[in-house]
Chains A and B, each alone.
Chain A
């Protein structure tokens, strides 16, 4: 079983819609959760972090964490074509700043 799992996509949503990206993780001691955005040919860029159960909002982005279900998600409201990228979920168990990444979900926002 992979440590961090994501649907590879592509996830296609129309402009203005809500994009929902999901991630599950296997290590119950995981404490910190991150969403990175990676445009094609570019480096990963942090867009959200979440540490406690519940929702965390930042602009059009909302991260949701459910530790009991070992599930973290990212919602993107009012999706824009510029949101088209691969979204990487990353998990840290709290030791030595080691991030374990999922394989990423490719999001396509269509006009």
Chain B
């Protein structure tokens, strides 16, 4: 049973297109995240939702729009794709804790996006 799953695993598309990546977790967690890992392996937070509420919104172009229909799902829609958007996008989830900041984040397998 996959704890955090993402679709698709690979995405190859042309510049200017719009695409979506979907994430689902079956861990019962209340917090989900989107990360971007660039070609140099630098992993950076983009967004986070807690119980469908946006709680982290890093400096990301507004072409990127997250959406959380329920606490088990977090999708990422990207408009007008650019070459620089090529990266691996990871979804993650965690369960909020009384001890803030100590939650373990569980990562999905990643979506490898290549913009041509």
Q: CB within 8 Å of B: which residues of A?
A: 31-32, 34, 38, 42-46, 49, 51, 86, 88, 92-101, 103-104
Measured CB to CB, the closest approach of chain B to A24, in angstroms, equals 16
Residue contacts A-B, CB under 8 angstroms, 9 given:
A38-B41, A49-B102, A92-B102, A96-B55, A96-B56, A97-B31, A97-B55, A98-B48, A103-B40
Q: Which residues of A contact B110 (CB under 8 A)?
A: 42-43
Q: What 7 pairs between A and B have smallest CB-CB spacing? A: A94-B101, A43-B107, A92-B101, A101-B43, A32-B101, A96-B55, A44-B107
Measured CB to CB, the closest approach of chain A to B25, in angstroms, equals 13
Measured CB to CB, the closest approach of chain B to A18, in angstroms, equals 24
Q: Which residues of A contact B20 (CB under 8 A)?
A: none
Q: CB within 8 Å of A: which residues of B?
A: 31, 40-45, 48, 50, 55-56, 90, 94, 96, 100-110
* Complex partner residue of B90 from A34, A44, A86, A95, CB under 8 angstroms: A44
CB pair B48–A97 under 8 Å, yes or no, is yes
CB pair A99–B45 under 8 Å, yes or no, is yes
